């Protein structure tokens, strides 16, 4: 038998052998809930362990016990809380996700706002992740404004994850990611890399310049976002909060909307049972009254 054809057994790296204990998970989940409102039931332990394993390695630590100890130290509290949130938050999004919302924006909201003769249209993508949503908004608004009497628009986009925001600002996406965008809009608003080794495209500068990105934590009392907004897209964000937190967040978001402005939520989100100045306008679309 040729032993050279077999790999030797190796002693596992202690970093990969370490597991996140339930007591450590509970301490982390309590802190994460306090920092950004995200609820993490015990069923998320394996997910949290997987996502934090890279942080353990980056910091040169060997166990999750060491990581938790560092996190709650004076140095860790200062430097590790943001990377912790970056690692835990889910940044799943797509261009023109839940496209019925963009159709409603085109067919109902924009014509209505145009009749009001407002000088500028203001939109906020709250929980913008890696940028697909605000850039989708920018494309829709650019197309409409070409034939509209309205003068200009501005889009504010925010997320709690600095890592996601950096990707959004770079605005570079795989060709697979932009497949959903119609070819005429791709040619108009995206630039494909010439290098075949880079199957990517970048949102063109004209569209990038229309979106202002910033970090906003939705469970904080104040948002550094302009008021008198025409629309707010806050989709698939509330699902991570408990009911009481959802109502508080929506109350603060509603305060940023002008009367008659629209709030778009995710397909599985609702304001049922909440005391808010909103009425249903379409499926998961609400109008401020």
Q: Active-site residue 42, yes or no?
A: no
Residue with tokens 């904080």: 220
| 55, 86, 159, 235: the active-site residue | 159
Q: Active-site residue 51, yes or no?
A: yes
CA nearest neighbour of 122 among 101, 137, 132, 106: 137
What per-residue string of b and e applies to 63-87 under the rule 16 or more CB within 10 Å gives b? bbbebbebbeeeebeeebbebbbbb
| 15, 51, 53, 106: the active-site residue | 51
Which residues neighbour 69 within 8 Å (Cβ) at sequence distance 6 or greater? Answer: none
Tell me, rounded to whole angstroms, the distance of Cα 107 from its chain centroid.
25
Residue 8, number of CB atoms within 10 A of its CB: 5
**Distance between CA atoms of residues 261 and 254, nearest Å:** 9
Which residues are annotated as catalytic? 51, 159
């Amino acid at each position: 038998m040729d032993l050279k054809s077999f790999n030797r057994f190796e002693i596992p790296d202690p970093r990969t052998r370490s597991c996140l204990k339930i007591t450590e998970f509970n301490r982390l989940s309590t802190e994460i809930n306090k920092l950004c409102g995200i609820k993490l039931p015990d069923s998320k332990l394996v997910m949290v362990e997987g996502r934090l394993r890279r942080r353990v390695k980056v910091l040169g630590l060997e166990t999750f016990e060491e990581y938790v100890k560092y996190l709650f130290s004076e140095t860790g509290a200062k430097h590790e809380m943001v990377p912790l949130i970056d690692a835990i938050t889910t940044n799943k999004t797509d261009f023109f996700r839940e496209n019925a919302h963009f159709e409603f924006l085109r067919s109902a909201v924009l014509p209505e706002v145009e009749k009001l003769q407002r000088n500028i249209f203001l939109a906020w993508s709250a929980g913008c992740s890696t940028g697909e949503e605000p850039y989708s908004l920018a494309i829709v608004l650019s197309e409409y404004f070409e034939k509209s009497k309205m003068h200009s628009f501005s889009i504010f986009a925010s997320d709690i994850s600095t890592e996601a925001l950096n990707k959004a600002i770079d605005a570079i996406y795989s060709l697979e990611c932009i497949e959903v965008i119609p070819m005429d809009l791709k040619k108009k608003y995206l630039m494909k890399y010439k290098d075949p080794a880079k199957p990517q495209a970048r949102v063109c500068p004209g569209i990038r310049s229309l979106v202002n990105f910033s970090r906003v934590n939705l469970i904080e009392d104040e948002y550094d976002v302009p008021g008198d907004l025409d629309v707010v897209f806050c989709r698939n964000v509330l699902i991570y909060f408990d009911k009481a937190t959802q109502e508080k967040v929506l109350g603060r978001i509603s305060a940023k909307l002008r009367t008659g402005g629209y709030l778009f939520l995710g397909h599985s989100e609702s304001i049922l049972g909440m005391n808010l100045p909103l009425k249903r306008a379409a499926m998961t679309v609400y109008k401020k009254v």
